[in-house]
Amino acid sequence: MIFGKTGVGGDHFAFYTFNQSIKDLEEATIIFIQRMFFEKAVNLVARNLKDFLALFITLKELYVIERFKLYKSKSDFIKDYQVRFYQGL
């Protein structure tokens, strides 16, 4: 069940309800779908809505989730985050 779009190429966040077997969306896994990445289009983002919101509150941005495949190391992530968030790129 889609709940958020990034506005880029059809990328979106969704609740993964395991063929609708999970009825409480607060407990559903959150996935990020990038249709342009054919080999790995679906990625786990958070265990549930609470973890997803905690991630958003901590990062203050969700663009890094779109870029996660590009990071080779923790330091790559930190550098990109600092440049984009603190310098407004």
Q: Please give, one letter per residue, the 3-state secondary structure of the chain.
A: CEEEECCCCCCEEEEECCCCCCCCHHHCEEEEECCCCHHHCEEEEECCHHHHHHHHHHHCCCHHHHHHHHCCCHHHHHHHHHHHHHCCC
- The larger pLDDT score, comparing residue 61 to residue 77, is at 77
Would the pTM of this model clear 0.75, i.e. be above it? no
pLDDT of residue 47: 93
Considering the chain, what is the average pLDDT of its residues?
82
pLDDT of residue 14: 92
pLDDT of residue 68: 75
